[in-house]
Amino acid sequence: MIPTLEEAQIILEKYNKEDFHLRHASVVSGVMRYFAKKHDPERSEYWAVVGLLHDIDFEIYPDEHCVKGEELLRENGVDESIIRAAMSHGFGIVPTPHEPTHIMEKILFAADELTGLIGAAALMRPSKSTLDLEVSSVKKKYKDKKFAAGCSRDVINSGAEKLGWTLDELIGETILAMRTLE
């Protein structure tokens, strides 16, 4: 089945209890919805569902990321196309066979880690918001390897490359996407 966003949230909450993970899922979901409006407007709910479910296994099975996720989604009767799209964000990082090919999958791959970096950069501002956050200040943080060190620059770079976007374009668009969630 292709779950609605509400149904996907119920599935997500079976395996995710921590605020950090629930918040990340909802940020990535909202970011995917923003990008869908530009690239695939008729399927924006679908993109949002993929974003919501992409890390479903990470709280309980961090060492089997994307492999367990595939199982959990299948057990819940989630459509194979969503499983594929959601798990492809781990391609080349964890042992998942699904390579990002559709623009939705490439955007998920590129924006996932970047939302963490942008969120951390926003928190450094007096406003604690992305509304007055500029590409240049995110780039500065991006170059500082110690800042939000858990957000892999290699993955972000490789995501921009897959999309054929510059890093500035990717960061700029992802900031705009995150502003819609403020």
Task: Give the footprint of Fe ion on this chain (CB under 5 A).
Answer: 55, 112
Neighbours of 94 (CB within 10 A): 15
CB of 112 to Fe ion, least distance (A): 4
CB of 133 to Fe ion, least distance (A): 20
CB of 62 to Fe ion, least distance (A): 12
Shorter beta-carbon distance to Fe ion: residue 17 or 140: 17
Instruction: Give the burial string for 80-90 (b: 16+ CB within 10 Å, else e).
Output: eebbbbbbbbb
Cα torsion for 145, 115, 179, 25, to the nearest 10°? -150
Shorter beta-carbon distance to Fe ion: residue 46 or 58: 58
Shorter beta-carbon distance to Fe ion: residue 55 or 57: 55
Shorter beta-carbon distance to Fe ion: residue 31 or 167: 31
Which amino acid does the sequence have at 164? G
For 177, the token pair is 């996407």
Neighbours of 160 (CB within 10 A): 21
CB of 106 to Fe ion, least distance (A): 15
